[in-house]
Amino acid sequence: MARSALLNVMVQAAFKAGKSLARDFGEVQNLQVSLKGPSDYVSQADRKAERSIREDLLKARPTYGFLGEEGEEIKGTDGAHRWIVDPLDGTTNFLHGLPHFAISIALERQGEIVAAVVFNPATDELYTAERGGGAFLNDRRLRVGARKVLSDAVVGTGTPHLGRGNHGKYLIELRHVMGEVAGIRRFGSASLDLAYVAAGRFDGFWERDLAAWDIAAGVLLVREAGGWVTDIDGGSKPVEDGSIICGNEYIAKALREVIHRPVPTK
């Protein structure tokens, strides 16, 4: 597949940071047996990865803005372009030695995501997309799943946890969806969840209370794989809203209807 110069910059930045994360991941697995635990080490790995990515991206395009999870936003002099980066999406997985985490890099142009990279260094799976150019896993073109009814579908989700999200609202949504689908999965990395929708591994996905860096790259991957992406209420700006529903046209619409189903009253 042919990549633009900008996408190549993003891929190389992800590969470089990925090598560092892969080394750190091995150390974290060893630290699991220590009394102190690996939390501090993971925080250092996270910040180190973001510094590496930021330096590489801003070296290539010094006038672009930069929004990352670990540092303050950099306002670019360009005004039209912004990098949106999660250097370690799936930190809890990383912390517990689970090889399901990713580097997520998106390029925003005048408010629209135009290029995306999601890279899992533990599996060497590289997901890429450019607006109008399709989505790819390594060099294989991706399409969202073709299932049309929820009863055949496996959907991903993100569950609120300690100190985050509206647990009561989510449990109602989960109860509604559980009764309609073939299976629900919670893997703990929104960028990879969306990449899995693009690859047809998940038929759909929904989650609330997300940050821009969690989903910016994944949104483009799903759209370029032929999928539908909205916020929870059906709006067209999930990155700004911080909530998302996606899948093919049939699954995304059906999933949204089920999630908004009224709660029965006694």
Q: Is 69 annotated as a binding residue?
A: yes
**What are the domain boundaries of the chain?**
5-141, 150-259
C-alpha–C-alpha distance, residues 114 and 112, integer Å: 6
Q: Is 241 annotated as a binding residue?
A: no
Homologous superfamily of 5-141 in CATH? Fructose-1,6-Bisphosphatase, subunit A, domain 1 (3.30.540.10)
Query: pLDDT 10s digit of each residue in the chain, 266 long?
Result: 678 999 999 999 999 999 999 998 888 766 654 444 566 667 788 899 999 999 999 999 999 999 998 878 999 999 999 999 999 999 889 888 899 999 999 999 999 999 999 999 999 999 999 999 999 999 999 999 999 999 999 999 999 988 888 899 999 999 999 999 999 999 999 999 999 999 999 999 999 999 999 999 999 999 999 999 999 999 999 999 999 999 999 999 999 999 999 877 65
Write down how long the chain is: 266
Q: Is 257 annotated as a binding residue?
A: no
What's the pLDDT score for residue 92?
Answer: 87
Q: Is 86 annotated as a binding residue?
A: yes
Q: Is 58 annotated as a binding residue?
A: no
What's the pLDDT score for residue 31?
Answer: 62
Q: Which fold has domain 150-259?
A: D-Maltodextrin-Binding Protein; domain 2 (3.40.190)
